[in-house]
Amino acid sequence: MFLGISAYFHDSSVALIDSNGDLIDFKKEEYLSRVKGDKSFPRLALTEIIKNHNLSDKNINKICFYEKPLKAWLTILKYSIKNNSLSNELTRNYFKNIWKSSVIFSYDLSKHLKISNDKILYCDHHLSHTLSGAYYNSKLPAVSIVIDGFGDESTSSIHHLTSLQEIKHKWSSPFPNSVGLFYSAITDFLGFSVNEGEYKVMGLAAYGEPIFYQSLSKTIYFKDGKLHLDDNYYDFMRSITRSYSSKLSSLFNINERQSNTPLDLESPDFKAYANIAASAQKIVEEILKEIFLFANKITGENRFIFSGGVAMNSVAINKLSKLDFISKLIVSPSPGDSGAAIGAAYYGFLQFNKNYFEPLKADIPSMLTPGHTSLTDHNEDFFLINYEKIANEDEIIDVASDLIIQNEIIATCYKNIETGPRALGHRSMICNAHSVIAVKQLNEQIKKRSKFRPVAPAILERNAKKYFLLSDKIYDSYFYMGAVVEVVNSKSIEAVVHNDNTSRIQLCREDNILGKILKKLELNNIFVLANTSFNISSDPMVYSKEDAYLGIERMNIKYLLTENGIYTKKLIKS
Amino acid sequence: MIITPHNNSNLYKTLVEFGYAEYGSALEMLAASKKAQSAKMKLRYRNHALDEYRHSALIFQVLNNELKKNKSFFEKEFKFTPQNVVSKGYVDKNGFLIEKLSLKKFVEFVYSSEFLAKQSFEVLIKRIKNSESLEILNEIAQDEEKHAHGALEQHADFSTSKLNEIMNEEDRHWGFAKIFYNKKFPDSNLNFAFKKEKIKNKMRLFYFKNLIFLNKIFNPIINFFIRIFGYIAMLLKPTSNDDKDLMKMNSTSIL
């Protein structure tokens, strides 16, 4: 067994790969701690995986951490000492918080798992990302592009994969020249939370014009094989509280948005902020094109693996897929730091099995929801105090379809949770996408999202081409990551079409839960479901049945679908 | 855990702390609900968690209202960031209380902290100076007598006022804890546990109030260490990845 762990920086997680190389479990710490984006050592996730799979020193072959802890800590510290000062707040913060950083990984691990030291490995941060993408890739050679905020010593990397045992580092960009941190600074400027609100910027961009593109492109650009960032406009390299400088405000000629004021289509400054988002989005897309082209030039490869936080920018991925020199673009279901735990576990597997050179024939659908479904998780007695069961296990599809036809909204907590940030039906809230009213109720009243945020459609694979323009180059992504596609027929599905005539599509096979419901709904001319994640914005995705129970109460949802049946709140007789 | 606002400049910060404390309490109650064996106890803890989640959201809403009324700038530290519930210590990253404490100690803690929260809350609402708040204060004053007894039945009729609603529920929570404790541990003294928690709370308050003074003492020491270790750090040279086969690099090195 091979464990991979990511922690201390973004969403902590644990991945487990068995001796065949199959991903058999994956848990984010936030699922169990219920703290969104929890970056603490994943003690709850690790404990649960150890318990569910009876892990011990005897059956664990390797346990791998997703970065080189001291290298990551030293890089920023040395930069800050050199460019700021010893009394600078970033320098001081790095020193004072060493005990909260990954440097203490082995100490934290020892509190939860007794394991021989020679079984503990450390994988380069960007290599963990590369391997998390390579895990879902079926063919080599390929080139891997990693672009995130920062990892170990670089902010972007190009790796050349000739075999799984030969991965050459070809290029990297040092801190602070970072596309990820640039996008986060814009996110911060627009009043959204860093590391969480980036996808809001992406959605907002569709409503603006890139009028600041020229001026913004002078602050960050890729030239002669180097990524340049003008630190006069950004503060993340010297401050722990502010990621942009006043010079950036002057460039936009508008103050940063105060995050306590709602930003909606009717807001007076909506267009101005949308223009900033559109400009930043264009910068990212153009820089990515340049880096991908550069990677193609230095490696000669046209099969690309893309990972790191920036690989979650699905609008940019759609644009990249249109480039001629790219024949295939592989993005894993969880390309960010939490998914890097899968890469770390894979690294442990490959270090132990030096005879594996070719990609494993990974069964991707089964690996989208790995884990251990515990029957004891569901305490039905507790649930039935306030709820009644309206469908048994074998009636789920029929009853769910009937409810969708009646434009009802259903929350799902079905078997294991998905690996990536996108809810694929196991932890979703779904409704009829052909009904503008139902989608509006789901998006604005239940989920309380801003109107400028798109709602994603889910559709059976065989019906997708009737509505959407699909690309073979990123075809796999449509099944698990909400890839962006142009809409060719928006008639009757306007509610799930974004302002720029695109959708964040999810293709469904007939054997998964949403696929089964969609198959049944076809008989009633419903071909598309609106699907959004089952959580309140400040909370992580619902994980256990008890979280689901709490979730439907807090969000006032009428129906909950689980693998045991469908439940609804009891009517209280007056 | 709560800093009571003795002057108006502390008000916003206090609301923020209060909001996080309520959120932390929600997580603790949810963890307790998951751990409880009987359906009845699960439901009780779950309902408590539901209340605390709502309180947290309402307190941040009150903060927003106050900021808008006073035309104050929305500082980043006022924004609710879930991870702060851990970094601020409202939830211990090493374990939920229900995992770390015996049932007896857990109930003692819930009772004490709920009661202290109620007391802090009474101070807090007196610091909010606007007409809406005065209305709330009047309503609360009318309810004071009822609250003092902490009886459950008296709180069926919740006020429409948000703050008053929270106040009622806090009463209900410590009331629950007290009833449960007295039934389960009739020979123990809940007052002693409460006083112990109160002293701890006072010490925390003393620490926060003297943070600036303490920083004056400790900052030069920290600066000294930064200077020494900063120079050592500059001498450490991590291995470069340039043109290397990453699969062949030292996999046990942390540098």
Transcribe A405-417 into DSSP letters: HTT--EEEE-SSP
Query: Which of A159, A498, A477 has the alpha carbon at shortest distance from A311?
Result: A477
Interface contact B247-A166, CB threshold 8 A: yes
Question: Residues with Cβ < 8 Å from B251, sequence gap 6 or more?
Answer: A64, A121, A122, A123, A347, A351
DSSP state of B101: S
Interface contact B252-A124, CB threshold 8 A: no
In the block, residue with structure tokens 């001629």: A324
Whether chain A has a CB inside 8 Å of the CB on B213: the answer is no
Interface contact B243-A169, CB threshold 8 A: yes
Whether chain A has a CB inside 8 Å of the CB on B186: the answer is no
Contact B184, B106 (CB under 8 A): no
Which pLDDT score is estimated for B6? Answer: 57
Question: Residues with Cβ < 8 Å from A11, sequence gap 6 or more?
Answer: A28, A29, A30, A37, A38, A39, A336, A337, A338
Contact B125, B140 (CB under 8 A): yes
Per residue in B46-78, pLDDT (tens digit) is: 888 988 898 888 888 878 877 877 777 777 788
Query: How far B107 CA sits from the closest chain A CA (Å)?
Result: 21
Whether chain A has a CB inside 8 Å of the CB on B72: the answer is no
Interface contact A35-B254, CB threshold 8 A: no
Query: Which of A275, A283, A262, A266 has the alpha carbon at shortest distance from A191?
Result: A262
Per residue in A419-446, pLDDT (tens digit) is: 988 999 999 999 999 999 999 999 989 9
Query: How far A524 CA sits from the closest chain B CA (Å)?
Result: 38
Query: How far A306 CA sits from the closest chain B CA (Å)?
Result: 17
Interface contact B27-A78, CB threshold 8 A: no
**Residue B229: closest CA among chain A residues belongs to which residue?**
A95
Task: Give the CB-side neighbour count of residue A225, counting CA atoms within 13 A.
Answer: 8
Which pLDDT score is estimated for A222? Answer: 97
**Residue B39: closest CA among chain A residues belongs to which residue?**
A382
Query: Which of A427, A481, A194 has the alpha carbon at shortest distance from A315?
Result: A481
Which pLDDT score is estimated for A377? Answer: 60
Interatomic CA distance for residues A147 and A157, integer angstroms: 7
Whether chain A has a CB inside 8 Å of the CB on B30: the answer is yes
Query: Which of A461, A165, A199, A221 has the alpha carbon at shortest distance from A309?
Result: A199
Q: State whether the Cα torsion B236-B241-B243-B247 is positive or negative.
A: positive
Query: Which of A484, A452, A448 has the alpha carbon at shortest distance from A469?
Result: A484
Can you tell me whether residue A556 is helix, strand or coil?
A: coil
DSSP state of A99: G
Whether chain A has a CB inside 8 Å of the CB on B247: the answer is yes
Interatomic CA distance for residues A314 and B103, integer angstroms: 48
Buried/exposed code over A544-563 (b: 16+ C-beta within 10 A; e: otherwise): bbbbbbbbbbbbebebbbbb
Which pLDDT score is estimated for A509? Answer: 92
Partner residue opposite A92 with nearest CB, options B33, B64, B226: B226
Which pLDDT score is estimated for B161? Answer: 54
The residue of B80, B246, B252 whose CB has the most chain A CBs within 10 angstroms, and thus the best one to mutate to test that interface, is B246
Interatomic CA distance for residues A261 and A263, integer angstroms: 6
**E strand or H helix at A26:** strand A23-28
Query: Which of B95, B210, B218 has the alpha carbon at shortest distance from A96?
Result: B218
Which pLDDT score is estimated for B106? Answer: 84
Query: Which of A445, A370, A403 has the alpha carbon at shortest distance from A565?
Result: A403
User: What is the residue-wise DSSP string for A303-317?
Assistant: EEEEESGGGG-HHHH
Which positions 88-147 of B are in contact with A (Cβ < 8 Å)? 91, 93-95
Query: How far A308 CA sits from the closest chain B CA (Å)?
Result: 17
The residue of A107, A130, A236, A538 whose CB has the most chain B CBs within 10 angstroms, and thus the best one to mutate to test that interface, is A538
Partner residue opposite B86 with nearest CB, options A35, A70, A259: A35
Query: How far B234 CA sits from the closest chain A CA (Å)?
Result: 6
Which pLDDT score is estimated for B164? Answer: 62
Query: How far A242 CA sits from the closest chain B CA (Å)?
Result: 9
Edge to edge, the sheet with strand A142-151 lists: A166-174, A154-163, A142-151, A303-307, A328-331
Partner residue opposite A35 with nearest CB, options B78, B82, B253: B82
Residues in chain A with CB shorter than 8 Å from the CB of B254 are 68-71, 103, 122
Contact A319, A282 (CB under 8 A): no
Whether chain B has a CB inside 8 Å of the CB on A164: the answer is yes
Pairing of strands A120-122, A62-65: parallel
Residues in chain B with CB shorter than 8 Å from the CB of A546 are 30, 33-34, 42, 46
Interatomic CA distance for residues A179 and A216, integer angstroms: 13
Which pLDDT score is estimated for A54? Answer: 94
Distances from the Cα of A432 to the Cα of A496, A506, B189, angstroms = 10, 15, 57
Whether chain A has a CB inside 8 Å of the CB on B221: the answer is no
Contact B39, B45 (CB under 8 A): no
Partner residue opposite B241 with nearest CB, options A78, A165, A169: A169
**Residue B240: closest CA among chain A residues belongs to which residue?**
A153
**E strand or H helix at A355:** none
Whether chain A has a CB inside 8 Å of the CB on B74: the answer is yes
**Residue B93: closest CA among chain A residues belongs to which residue?**
A40
| pLDDT tens over chain A, length 574 residues | 999 999 998 899 999 999 999 999 999 999 999 999 999 999 999 999 999 999 999 999 999 999 999 998 899 888 988 888 777 888 888 888 888 899 999 999 999 999 999 999 999 999 999 999 999 998 999 999 999 999 888 999 999 999 999 999 999 999 999 999 999 999 999 999 898 899 999 999 999 999 999 999 999 999 999 999 999 999 999 998 889 999 999 999 999 998 888 888 888 899 999 999 999 999 999 999 999 999 999 999 999 999 999 999 999 999 999 999 999 999 999 999 999 999 999 999 999 999 988 887 666 777 788 886 665 566 778 888 889 999 999 999 999 999 999 999 999 999 999 998 899 999 999 999 999 999 999 998 999 888 888 899 999 999 999 999 999 999 999 998 878 999 998 889 999 999 999 999 999 999 999 999 999 999 999 999 999 999 998 899 999 999 999 999 999 999 999 999 999 988 765 4
Whether chain A has a CB inside 8 Å of the CB on B76: the answer is yes
**Residue A193: closest CA among chain B residues belongs to which residue?**
B81
Residues in chain A with CB shorter than 8 Å from the CB of B27 are 33-35
Pairing of strands A387-392, A328-331: unpaired
Which pLDDT score is estimated for B138? Answer: 41
Taking every pair of C-alpha atoms in chain B, what is the biggest distance, in angstroms? 76
Contact B245, A166 (CB under 8 A): yes
**Residue A81: closest CA among chain B residues belongs to which residue?**
B230
Which pLDDT score is estimated for A361? Answer: 66
Residues in chain A with CB shorter than 8 Å from the CB of B241 are 124, 153-154, 157, 169, 172
Whether chain A has a CB inside 8 Å of the CB on B251: the answer is yes
Question: Residues with Cβ < 8 Å from A293, sequence gap 6 or more?
Answer: A323, A325
Contact A349, A12 (CB under 8 A): no
**For the purposes of burial, counting CB atoms within 10 Å of the CB of A143, is it exposed (0-12), middle (13-18) or buried (19 or more)?**
buried
Residues in chain B with CB shorter than 8 Å from the CB of A86 are 223, 226-227, 230
Interface contact A193-B81, CB threshold 8 A: yes
Interatomic CA distance for residues A462 and A476, integer angstroms: 14
**Residue B250: closest CA among chain A residues belongs to which residue?**
A122
Whether chain A has a CB inside 8 Å of the CB on B21: the answer is no
Which pLDDT score is estimated for B137? Answer: 37
| pLDDT tens over chain B, length 255 residues | 445 555 555 788 888 988 898 899 999 999 999 988 888 888 888 888 988 898 888 888 878 877 877 777 777 788 899 999 998 889 998 899 999 888 888 888 877 777 777 777 777 777 776 655 545 434 433 433 333 333 233 333 322 355 566 666 666 666 667 777 777 777 677 777 777 777 877 777 777 777 777 778 887 888 888 888 888 888 888 888 888 999 999 999 998
Which pLDDT score is estimated for A379? Answer: 73
Partner residue opposite B27 with nearest CB, options A35, A122, A153: A35
CA angle A33, A38, A41 (to 5 degrees): 85
Contact B253, A72 (CB under 8 A): no
Whether chain B has a CB inside 8 Å of the CB on A75: the answer is yes
- Phi/psi for A567 (5° steps) reads -125, 150
What's the token pair of residue A455? Answer: 């709602």
Which positions 109-148 of A are in contact with B (Cβ < 8 Å)? 118, 120-124, 127, 130
